Chain A
Amino acid sequence: MLKTLRLFIFALVIVAAIPAQSAPLTLNDGEAVMGRFEQARYLRGFDKPILSEGEFFLLPRSALIWQTEKPFFSRMIIDEEGLSQAIKGAEVTRLSFKQFPGFKLLRDTLENSLSGNWAPLEEIAGTKLLPADGKYSLRFSPKTSGLTLPFAYLNFEIGDFLESVEIVKSNGDRDVITFSEQQVAPAADVRAKAESSKEKQP
């Protein structure tokens, strides 16, 4: 009996000694995140994926700045109202979420996932983050009724930060966006960095 108890205690100690899989990082108030992205668009029937890469700056509850540097320089700012795309400082597109409400959900999803705010996504997805290979994953297929959504489902791969997201459209098109070099910093610093990054414009 004593031997069994000792074995049980030993087992508990062993289990306790195994390092727990750390939870994804979450931004605190006043913090923002920035990093790099690589995107591959797989369009059905196209010869090759359309590749792009650049920097992103997430200022929670304010804006997501998506600065594409390759294949050419462009800058997209997504705020609460909609998105605006500019080339060489000149705006070429402005879309309001009032016109395309489905994008609002995608924008909120990107902001929540990049800032580690997973609870709302878990709630909509109806499942918790699933641990796998020292990381987490989440498959998100929005159930919201009535909205014409621009995607069928999303697959998230999460380490400390969001590492990749796969956006799958109902017609089979899919985008794979991989994130790297994420840094958390005060929002003012990230904002300043985003401003200075404009200078990369060739």
Chain B
Amino acid sequence: MNRAGLLIYLALLCSAVAIIGWRLQDGLPLDTNIVAMLPQSEDAEWVTRAEAAERSQGSNQLIVLVGHQDFETARSAALDLGKMLEENSIVKLIQDQPQQSTLTSLNELLFPHRTGLLGEGDRRLLAAGQEQVLIDRALVQILSPLSLADAELIRRDPFLLLPNYIAASTENRSKLLSRANVLAIQESGKWFVLVRGNLVGNPFDKGFQSRARSVFDDAGGKLEKRYGDIQLLKTGAVFYGEHAYRQAEDEAGFIGMISLIGIVILNFLVFRSFQPLALSLLAIASGIAGGLAVTLLFFGTLQLLALVFGAGLIGISVDYAFHYFCERFNQASSVPAARARAIRSGLTLGLVSSVLGFITLALTPFPGLQQIALFSASGLTLAYLTVLYAFPYLDRSAPFRHGEKYLKFSMLLHDFWWRAETRKWRWLFVALLLTAGGLGAMQITVDDDVRRLQSLPTDLQAEEQAIRHLAGIENQTHRFFVRGSNPEEVLQAEEALALDLEALRASGAIGSYRMISQFVPSKTRQLENQALVDDVLMPRLAEHMAAIGLSGASPYQQAENVLTVDQFTDANMPGLFSRLRVYKTPGIVVHAVSLSGVKDTARLAKLAEKSENVALISQADSLSKTFGAYRLRALIMLAVAYVVVWVFLSLRYGFIGAFKVMIPSMAAVALAPCLIALMGEPFTFFNAMSLMLIFAIGLDYALFNREATGDRQRRAMLANGLSTISTLLAFGLLALSETFAIHAFGITILVGITLAYILAPRAADLEHPMTEPL
């Protein structure tokens, strides 16, 4: 059996190394997008497809303002920067400033349809019979010394319908001024010129992030050399993603390093030998190799948080090694296989319980958490095989001759729970714990806001804020998707939605909105407009022409067809509208409606509920809602995990006995959220998920206490103590993380594992010790 176990271990280890080598040929496929950890959206399929189409069009932007006292310098630097970013395949620049040729072709395209193109205001005036306002407006505009209209335009469109339509539908709401073919703004004596592009790569892809950052920094250096004191203000998901990755990498490196140093010190302090350390590292390496290989095999990429918790896995896989080497304090046996046999029952029960817990965790539909579960379960299994089947072959050492003081010290906690003379102190401790838990329970606050998951660096936020202040470019937090079976249906649906949006705008619930139908009305709307113009405005044409000294026939000839969206390419449609064309396939057309200045999301959500062809897209809100739902689900899964493990452990201890074994773990899980609430920490989905780890590790401690009898009890307590210290080093340090989700995990585990260790000796049963190994 031992030999077979070793062969299985070796085969699995070699396979893991081969898989890792194969998958890492092109570098570590690390995904830093925390959002990717979430379950597939519960939205309708068309919404999911539209979102994917939007992403593939490069909806993620990079925005830079290049600042200098001299406009020409700022402009040249901005053009150079744009060129460098484009040449290095970081962005595809957005033409915010339409070229004259584009405007001309746009005018030519729209001109024949001008009587069908009315802004909402003009349309309302004509419908109300107030055509005089439009006539007076045309006269005022023709008379103005700052007139838009020349003789040719006035002759062909005396009511100036088209220029007013274009002015109304393409109104520029940003603060930027068009100057010398760039968009710029002057603030406090400094000119800022805009560079804006769609990212060519995935902003959450580590490789792309590093390249984008490197190209940007390199370009910044070149501009400084070339132009001197240039100021660059930047924003975009790629910068936030890159920062998140670097932070996680730093934290994982730091935590992993502290963890390793802690393990090394613990090993030398307790075992005074190099061999336990070397074999512990083998268990750790095997565990990580197993976890990494299986995760990469099933998922293809590795989630940021799975990597961070991979570092944490070190703390658990080394627990098994501690239990093995603590057996070397047994002077009665010098056979390595006997050491493995002594811990096999506790180790196996602990592993199976943990894996059952992780399987339960994997049942949640969060891909990132499935990765953590898979990583942990497979990693621990390989660490388990290392300890039970490889260690006995590699360990040829005689029992330790030292360690009595550690063994005695580790029994202090056990004695506290079982000695008669500490009875009143036990009650006092339990009373204090319950009081603190009760007080904490009253202070638990739930927080599911997804925006807290990724801590935003203050310097990047300050730059984004400055860009918002200077350029008036606002981060779009909400938008609608509108669907139809053809463009006409979508345009009509947009026009229906616009009625409600106008009401929201008037009440201040939103600032403004943009939709394609504001530029290309539906066929129905265009025909209505034409009828209005024919019935209300045209009877006044002769009088109007005479007033401005224009003779001849009516210049308004009816166009044969109405204007359609399909007549536009992305090139000849103004940029702000072309970006709203999301998705088109036979039978389904989806447009986006952009919203700005959103103040009341509830009213927007109600609008979306009115029609199945309209969906409100707000990643942050819907994810927060999803987090709330799955926080509850995680707690339910935890309860399910306890029931499954109870049934499993009942096979060995009976129902009552199994329940007693589970009490320390359950108490730690119940008390941890209460105690951290006393520290002012909110309870989030991630706190809930960390309870799963407390459940598994807490059960391990309890099971070793339950399985250890006689003198072995001392060694089990020492191993548990060492495990707790290493786990706190690995996981507890996560509490220092600046990433909220990781911090939440860390702080919960810090408190929970400490409690699990302290309470674990109560799982022992001195009257009915386990004499038969598993």
Contacts and interface: CB of A to CB of B under 8 A. Distances in A.
B140 interface: yes
A85 B139 contact: no
A45 interface: yes
Nearest to A78: B146
Nearest to A99: B172
A93 B550 contact: no
A196 B176 CA distance: 35
B146 A87 contact: no
Interface-central residue, A45, A49, A147, A169, by most chain B CB under 10 Å = A45
Nearest to B180: A146
B59 interface: no
B551 A99 contact: no
B151 interface: yes
B151 A47 contact: no
B150 interface: yes
A46 B152 CA distance: 10
A49 B549 contact: yes
A170 B436 CA distance: 84
Interface in A56-95: 66, 68, 71-72, 74, 76, 78, 83, 85, 87, 90, 92-93, 95
A47 B174 contact: no
B180 A87 contact: no
Given A99-B172, A171-B150, A50 B181 contact: no
A39 interface: yes
B120 interface: no
B179 A93 contact: no
Interface in B76-130: 100
B556 to A, nearest CB: 17
Interface in B601-639: none
A4 to B, nearest CB: 56
Contact of B140 (A39, A85, A147): A85
B266 interface: no
B140 A99 contact: no
A41 interface: yes
Interface in B168-206: 170-172, 174-181
A31 interface: no
Contact of B548 (A50, A110, A144, A171): A50
B551 A47 contact: yes
A87 B549 contact: no
Contacts of A117: none
Contacts of B100: 148
Contacts, number: 113
A46 B545 CA distance: 10
Given A46-B548, A99-B167, A39 B136 contact: no
A173 B150 contact: yes
B177 to A, nearest CB: 5
Given A101-B179, A147-B180, A93 B140 contact: yes
A41 B142 contact: yes
A96 B172 contact: yes
A107 B146 contact: yes
B249 to A, nearest CB: 43
B151 A93 contact: no
Nearest to A54: B143
B69 interface: no
Given A72-B136, A92-B136, A145-B180, A44 B151 contact: yes
B155 interface: yes
Interface string B142-166: 1111111011101100000000100
Given A106-B146, A148-B100, A167-B145, A101 B177 contact: yes
A200 interface: no
Contacts of B151: 43-46, 171-173
B44 interface: no
A144 B139 CA distance: 31
A135 to B, nearest CB: 21
A185 interface: no
B133 interface: yes
A146 B179 contact: yes
A177 B145 contact: yes
B554 to A, nearest CB: 16
A118 interface: no
B143 to A, nearest CB: 5
B547 A71 contact: yes
A166 B573 CA distance: 36
A100 B178 CA distance: 8
Contacts of B551: 47
Contacts of B549: 43, 46-50
A50 B146 contact: no
A100 B152 contact: no
A98 B143 contact: no
A176 B133 CA distance: 27
B150 A169 contact: yes
Interface-central residue, A46, A72, A100, by most chain B CB under 10 Å = A46
Nearest to A144: B180
Given A47-B551, A98-B176, A173-B150, A93 B141 contact: yes
A95 B179 contact: no
Contact of B133 (A68, A92, A110): A92
A78 B548 CA distance: 24
Given A95-B148, A101-B179, A146-B181, A50 B142 contact: yes
A150 interface: yes
B402 interface: no
Nearest to B472: A98
Interface-central residue, A93, A101, A106, by most chain B CB under 10 Å = A93
A92 B119 CA distance: 13
Nearest to A70: B143
Nearest to A177: B145
A189 to B, nearest CB: 24
Contacts of B147: 41, 150
A78 B144 CA distance: 11
A8 B364 CA distance: 108
A96 B171 contact: yes
Interface string A161-189: 00000010101110101000000000000
B550 A87 contact: no
A140 interface: no
A108 to B, nearest CB: 11
B141 A85 contact: yes
A110 B179 CA distance: 19
Contacts of B141: 85, 93
Nearest to B143: A52
Nearest to B166: A99
A85 B256 CA distance: 68
A103 interface: yes
Contacts of A50: 142-143, 548-549
Contacts of B178: 98-99, 101
Given A72-B139, A98-B176, A45 B155 contact: yes
A184 to B, nearest CB: 21
A49 B547 CA distance: 11
B137 interface: yes
Nearest to A103: B146
A97 interface: yes
Given A46-B550, A92-B133, A110-B145, A87 B177 contact: no
B10 to A, nearest CB: 71
Contacts of B180: 144-147
Contacts of B172: 96, 98-99
A-B residue pairs, 10 tightest by C-beta: A146-B180, A43-B151, A92-B137, A48-B549, A44-B151, A101-B178, A47-B549, A46-B549, A87-B136, A98-B172
Interface of A: 39, 41, 43-50, 52, 66, 68, 71-72, 74, 76, 78, 83, 85, 87, 90, 92-93, 95-101, 103-104, 106-107, 110, 144-148, 150, 167, 169, 171-173, 175, 177
5 contacts: A46-B151, A47-B550, A72-B139, A101-B177, A146-B180
Given A47-B549, A66-B144, A76-B146, 7 more contacts: A46-B155, A49-B549, A74-B136, A85-B137, A92-B136, A99-B172, A110-B145
